[in-house]
Amino acid sequence: MTETGRGSDSTLPEDSRSSEDAARKRTSRLRELDNAHVWHPFTAMEAYREEEAPIIIAAEDFFLIDDTGQRYLDGHSSLWCNIHGHRVPAIDQAITQQLNKVAHSTLLGLSNEPSIELAAELVRRAPAGLNKVFYADCGAAGVEVALKLAFQYHRQKRGGPQERNLFACLGKAYHGDTVGTISLGGIDRFHSLFGSLMFPALRIPTPAAWGPEQSDALEQQLRDHADQLAGFVIEPLVQAAAGIVVHPVGYLKAVRELTRKYGILMIADEIAVGFGRTGRMFACEHEQVSPDILILSKGLTGGYLPLAATLVTDEIYEAFLGEPWAGRTFQHGHTYTGNPLACAAALASLQLFDDNDLLANVRCLEATIRDELAILTEPATRSDIRAIQSHVAEIRQRGVMVGIDLVLDRQSGAPFPATWRVGHRITVNCRNHGVILRNIGDTVVLMPAPAMPKELVTTLCRTVIQAMTQVLPDLQIPDRPAN
Q: What is the pLDDT of residues 152-173, one digit of tens each?
A: 999 999 888 889 999 999 999 9
425/335 same-domain check:
no
Evaluate whether residue 435 is within a structural domain.
Answer: yes
CA 98 to chain centre: 27
Contact between 56 and 423 (Cβ < 8 Å): no
167 assigned to some structural domain: yes
pLDDT of residue 23: 83
Q: How many CB atoms lie within 10 A of CB 372?
A: 18
Boundary residue ending a domain (355, 386, 408)? 355
pLDDT at 10 over 80: no
Q: Are residues 262 and 326 in the same domain?
A: yes
Least Cα distance to 303 among 91, 457, 463 occurs for 91
Q: Which of these three, 303, 333, 355, is where a domain ends? A: 355
Q: What is the mean pLDDT of residues 308-324?
A: 97
Q: Which helix (H) or strand (E) holds 346?
A: helix 340-355
Between 2-11, 196-205, 410-419, 429-438, the lowest mean confidence (pLDDT) is in: 2-11
**384 exposed, middle or buried (CB, 10 Å; 0-12, 13-18, 19+)?**
middle
Provide φ and ψ at 125, rounded to 5°: -95, -25
Per-residue b/e over 331-356, b at no fewer than 16 CB within 10 Å?
Answer: eebbebbbbbbbbbbbbbbbebbeee
pLDDT given at position 12: 54
**3-state secondary structure at position 228:** coil
C-alpha closest to that of 207 among 198, 218, 192: 218
Examine the domain organization and report whether 236 and 337 are in the same domain: yes
* 30 part of a folded domain: no
In this structure, the answer to whether residues 130 and 278 fall within a common structural domain is yes
Same domain, 224 and 342: yes
| Residue 7 located in a structural domain | no
447 in a structural domain: yes
Q: Mean pLDDT over residues 129-137, rounded?
A: 98
Q: Do both 297 and 418 map to the same domain?
A: no
Q: Which pLDDT band, with edges at 50, 70 and 90, does 24 fall under?
A: confident
Are 129 and 163 contained in the same domain?
A: yes
The pTM assigned to this predicted structure is: 0.93
Residue 5 pLDDT level (bands cut at 50, 70, 90): very low
- What is the pLDDT confidence band of residue 1, given thresholds at 50, 70 and 90? very low
- Which CATH number does the domain housing residue 427 bear? 3.90.1150.10
More confident residue, 391 or 474: 391
Residue-wise pLDDT tens digits, 411-452: 999 999 999 999 999 999 999 999 999 999 999 999 999 999
Q: Are residues 362 and 464 in the same domain?
A: yes
What is the domain extent for residue 63? 54-84+358-474
Query: Has residue 31 been placed in a domain?
Result: no
- Torsion over CA of 185, 191, 195 and 196, rounded to 10 degrees? -110
Query: Are 215 and 338 members of one domain?
Result: yes
Q: Which residues contact 442 (CB under 8 A, 6 or more apart)?
A: 405, 406, 407, 415, 416, 422, 423
- Under the banding of pLDDT at 50, 70 and 90, the label for residue 16 is low
Does the pLDDT value for residue 3 go beyond 50?
A: no
Q: Which residues of 36-56 are buried (b: 16+ CB within 10 A; e: fewer)?
A: eeeeeeeeeeeeeeeeebeee
57-92 in b/e burial notation, b at 16+ Cβ within 10 A?
Answer: eebebbbbbbbeeeebbbbbbbebbbbbbbebeebe
Number of domains the chain is built from: 2
Looking at the domain assignment, is residue 5 inside a domain?
no
Region 474-482: mean pLDDT is 53
Q: What's the pLDDT at 483? A: 38
Stretch 268-297: mean pLDDT: 98
pLDDT value for 394:
96
Does residue 480 register a pLDDT over 50?
no
Whether 401 has a pLDDT exceeding 50, the answer reads yes
User: Mean per-residue pLDDT for 235-239?
Assistant: 98
What distance lies between CA 362 and its chain's CA centroid? 16
Residue 411 CB coordination number (10 Å): 8
DSSP string, 89-153: HHHHHHHHHHHTT-S----SS---HHHHHHHHHHHHHSSTTEEEEEEESSHHHHHHHHHHHHHHH
The CATH number assigned to the domain holding 284 equals: 3.40.640.10
Q: What is the pLDDT of residue 189?
A: 86
pLDDT at 19: 79
Q: Which of 321, 339, 355 is the last residue of a domain?
A: 355
pLDDT category at 478 given cuts 50, 70, 90 is very low
Kindly state whether residues 166 and 202 are assigned to the same domain: yes
For residues 331 and 368, state if they share a domain: no
On whether residue 37 sits in a domain, the answer given is no
Q: Looking at residue 479, what is its pLDDT?
A: 46
- Lowest-pLDDT range of 45-54, 92-101, 142-151: 45-54
Same domain, 241 and 98: yes
